[in-house]
Structure 1
Amino acid sequence: RPDTARYDRAARALDEVRREVEAVLAVRQDAEQRLVHLRDVLSRADRTLAEARAARGEVLAKIAASEVPVVNGPPTALQERLAAASEYRRHARWHRLSPLLETLEREAEEELLRAREQLTAVTAPLAVRAELRGRLDAYKAKVARNGLAEDPVLIERYDAARRMLWSAPCDLRVAAQAVQRYQDAALEQLNGRGPQDRRGHG
């Protein structure tokens, strides 16, 4: 019976070579497209970080006593390795380019995600202020629909809350309390426990 082990080993080695050749051909074919995509992802990450830095300045100016996280700069190491990948492509060093592209693609997506998370963290105080403004105006509309727009207590509390929310720097904690006071007074009137209701039934 012939010894096929040697042939099997040769066939496996040939398969490995074929797979390597296919991988190299695939990298050659789509390397430029992948490099363009990488540049786009890193550019979006840079723009998001720039937006976060600008937003941080706005938050520090508009929101009082707010803990605003520091925004990191773009990672230069990724740009340097992207430049190296472009060099590998230019000099047809496909075996080096293939693993580097895979690593860069993963790290670039992670960097974009990190940049977005930083933007969300930095703008959180502005989102809180917007939510408070929205709540204040929603209750004002509800009060008006129920014919209570002229109530002096509600007018006073609304004006106080509005002044705090539209002034800079805005103290969110104090503003939230002012909105809550207006909301409580509005609910009291709307639920028929206020002076207007008592007058109506006197």
Structure 2
Amino acid sequence: MSAEGVDHALRGRREERDRISDGVLDLDAHTIVRLLQTAPLRGATARRWDQVRGRVALLWALLDAYRAVVEEAERIRGTHRRLGADELAELTWLLAGPAVRLTPDTGPVERRRLLGPGEQRFTLDEAVAAMELAFHDVTGLVAEVDAAWNAALPRLDAAAAQAGAARRFLHELGEGDPDLDVCEREIERVREELRHDPLGDGGRDLERVAADTSRLHERARRAAEVRRAYGRRREALRSLLGRVAAAEQESLRARDLVVAKIASPALPALPGRASALNERLAALDAPSSASSASSAGPAEAAVPEGGARGPDAIGDPGGHGGGGWLERADLLAALERAAEEALLQSERATASLRELIERRDELRGRLEAFRARAVRLGLAEDPALARAHLRARDLLWTAPCDLRKATEAVNGYQRAIQGAAG
């Protein structure tokens, strides 16, 4: 290597050393690396760190050895204004030869067996390549841990915030929820697990905890909402149950009509749930009413619903053992769903029953249309057509009507007209 080559190579190695040093120092100061070095790790994260920790030691050992070679080259070049053959040979060996020495006791234990009992030598390029591999291994673990924490901790914080909001709703209701107590403990347990083992199974636990917290928050929010608007919700439900009762009565009338008008009809099942649903509505207030009546004075007990306390004021069930607003909100929601379902079933049953009458009326209309066509074609006095028309008419205007036979008779009359006209 010439003097110019030595100077060029040395400048490059100085810049390379500074960049590598900065990168290794930044890695060593990284928050996650510090936590991995100091935190009591557990599980999968502890196992991964045990594997990677040796790579950190190797990285520092190689960097120290690399610096020593470059500093020695700088020293020689700095003490000789003009380089002789001996200096050029020594600098060439330092900058291009296997001058980087890694002794067994400076490397990690797991590498000493691989490297053998003696020292290992690298060129500067080989040392850089080995440092790059070790750096990649360490940063890979750092990236995994960082990704795990970034994915989990915000969701855990969100779950904790939801639990806090649910707790405020419960305070408004004057109630407690053992399930929420368990959920809050689980949030802290998962947080502790993620702190010590971010690569472990805490993420799967987080899915369950987040779902449970969301459910409990929604339940508490709904209960608070029900408490604030209970009077209106109850009256709306009472009105809905009135519609259910009316719809069921309409289904009964339609059924009676069909039984009288249609022979052997395939009748849909009629729900008949209005009475039971009204009993559930009455039972919705029973525990709180008994509790309120036993604890209130005569004047308070005499306040009518919708009176001075407002249209939503009712006895608060939160202070007795018969269940609180959480339970009442669940019962109210279930009753509303049941009422909507009962109304829909009754309306569908009525529509199905009416279709049978409509089918008979449609056949009557078709028969008259075919009769008008026969008249236009001059076939009204045809004896066979007249008998076919009379048979179909007798079937359609006789109660109860056999729809299957009537349909066959109308279709037969149509075919007879087509045959006679052809």
Change (3 A) 1:81 1:158: same
Shift of 1:179: 0.6
1:89-113 per-residue CA deviation (whole Å, 9 max, x = no partner) reads 6213344432222111111111112
Q: Distance in 2 between matches of 1:139 and 1:12?
A: 70
Q: Which has the higher contact order (CA 8 A, sep 6+)?
A: 1
CA-atom RMSD, angstroms?
2.9
1:49-198 counterparts in 2 under 5 A? 49-69=248-268, 71-87=270-286, 88=288, 90-93=314-317, 94-144=325-375, 146-148=376-378, 150-152=380-382, 153-189=384-420, 192-193=421-422
What secondary structure, in the 3-state scheme, does the structure 1 residue paired with 2:380 have? Answer: coil
Number of the residue aligned with 2:166:
16
In structure 2, distance between residues paired with 1:148 and 1:68 = 42
TM-score when normalising by structure 1:
0.73
**Aligned residue pairs, count:** 183
Note the C-alpha offset of 1:122: 3.7
Counterparts of 1:33 and 1:178, CA distance in 2: 56
Distance 1:85 1:134, change over 3 A: same
Give the C-alpha shift of residue 184 in structure 1. Answer: 0.6
Work out the CA distance in 2 between the residues paired with 1:10 and 1:128: 61
73-82 or 146-155, which moves further after superposition? 146-155
Rounded Cα–Cα distance in structure 2 between residues aligned with 1:67 and 1:109: 25
Structure 2: runs of 5 or more not aligned:
1-156, 173-220, 289-312, 318-324
Q: If you compute each CA radius of gyration, which structure gives the higher value, 1 or 2?
A: 2
Question: For the residues of structure 1 that align with 2:406 and 2:344, how far apart are their CA atoms?
Answer: 32
Q: Give the C-alpha shift of residue 69 in structure 1.
A: 4.6
CA contact (8 A) 1:64 1:169 kept: yes
- Distance 1:141-1:37 versus aligned 2 partners, 3 A rule: farther
Structure 1 position 82, deviation (Å):
0.9
- Out of 41, 47, 51, the position equivalent to 2:240 is 41
Indicate if the aligned counterparts of 2:270 and 2:349 stay in contact, CA closer than 8 A: yes
Q: In structure 2, what is the equivalent of residue 199 of structure 1?
A: none
- CA distance in structure 1 between the aligned counterparts of 2:398 and 2:234, rounded to whole angstroms: 47
Alpha-carbon separation, structure 1, partners of 2:161 and 2:408: 77
Q: Which runs of 5+ in 1 are unaligned?
A: 1-7, 194-202
TM-score normalized with structure 2 length: 0.38
